[in-house]
């Protein structure tokens, strides 16, 4: 074979190789159909997560959140329960009745005015007023104990009406049978 033929075969072979390596033009899928009210699907949003208090059921935190407070407050030289105190105690009673294995200590307190003996007696009357109210709401008296601290454990230091008002109180303290938290 002559050199011309070889050259022609080489040119044709090269052209075929290049033609085989050439890329095909890619075709794209057709565009989506336009959205019309008939074809549009309404997907409802996912439901919100459940609201939780973060408190473990049966815990001290659960008790305080449910009842609003573990304390009730009294007027000067009084152990009578006002409507706010009864509202708080009603909620405490509901919670305590839900958890019958929980025992409580009810602490009675007084402000700094008056003698030690007077304030101890007043604190005891306040604690007993709370115990008796809770018992009337169905909480077993055997689950409750009372103690008076008189003026010995103030919640707030100070010799003014604001401090005294915060120190005239009874506090329901969970003692046993609750979930720590």
Q: What is the DSSP letter of 78?
A: -
Residue 26's pLDDT is what? 64
pLDDT for 23: 55
179 phi, psi to nearest 5 deg: -90, 125
Describe the strand order of the beta sheet including 144-150 as a list of residue ranges.
Answer: 71-73, 169-176, 103-109, 144-150
User: What was the pLDDT predicted at 70?
Assistant: 97
- pLDDT confidence of residue 179: 83
- Fill in the DSSP letter of residue 110: -
How confident is the model at residue 89, as a pLDDT?
98
Question: DSSP E strands: which ranges in 39-156?
Answer: 71-73, 103-109, 144-150
Give the chain's domains with CATH numbers.
Answer: 68-176 (3.30.1330.60)
pLDDT of res. 83: 97
Which tens digits make up the pLDDT trace of 113-143?
999 999 999 999 999 999 999 999 999 999 9
Compute the distance between CA of residue 119 and CA of residue 114 in angstroms, rounded to an integer: 6
DSSP 18: H
Q: Which portions of the chain are predicted below pLDDT 50?
A: none
pTM over 0.95: no
Closest by CA position to 148, among listed 173, 179, 122: 122
* Cα–Cα dist 21/140, whole Å: 92
pLDDT of amino acid 31: 72
What CA–CA distance (Å, rounded) separates 167 from 143? 25
pLDDT given at position 151: 97
């Amino acid at each position: 074979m002559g050199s011309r033929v070889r050259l022609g075969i080489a040119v044709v072979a090269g052209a075929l190789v290049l033609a085989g390596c050439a890329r095909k033009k890619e075709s794209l899928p057709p565009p989506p159909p336009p959205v019309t009210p008939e074809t549009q699907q309404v997907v409802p949003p996912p439901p919100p997560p459940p609201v939780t208090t973060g408190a473990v059921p049966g815990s001290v935190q659960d008790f305080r959140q449910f009842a609003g407070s573990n304390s009730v407050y009294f007027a000067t030289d009084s152990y009578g329960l006002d409507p706010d105190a009864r509202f708080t105690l009603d909620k405490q009673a509901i919670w305590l009745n839900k958890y019958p294995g929980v025992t409580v200590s009810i602490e009675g307190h007084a402000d700094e005015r008056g003698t030690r003996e007077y304030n101890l007696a007043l604190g005891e009357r306040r604690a007993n007023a709370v115990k008796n109210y809770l018992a009337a709401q169905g909480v077993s008296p055997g689950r409750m104990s009372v103690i008076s601290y008189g003026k010995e454990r103030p919640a707030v230091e100070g010799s003014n009406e604001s401090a005294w008002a915060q120190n005239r109180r009874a506090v329901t303290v969970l003692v046993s049978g609750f979930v720590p938290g």
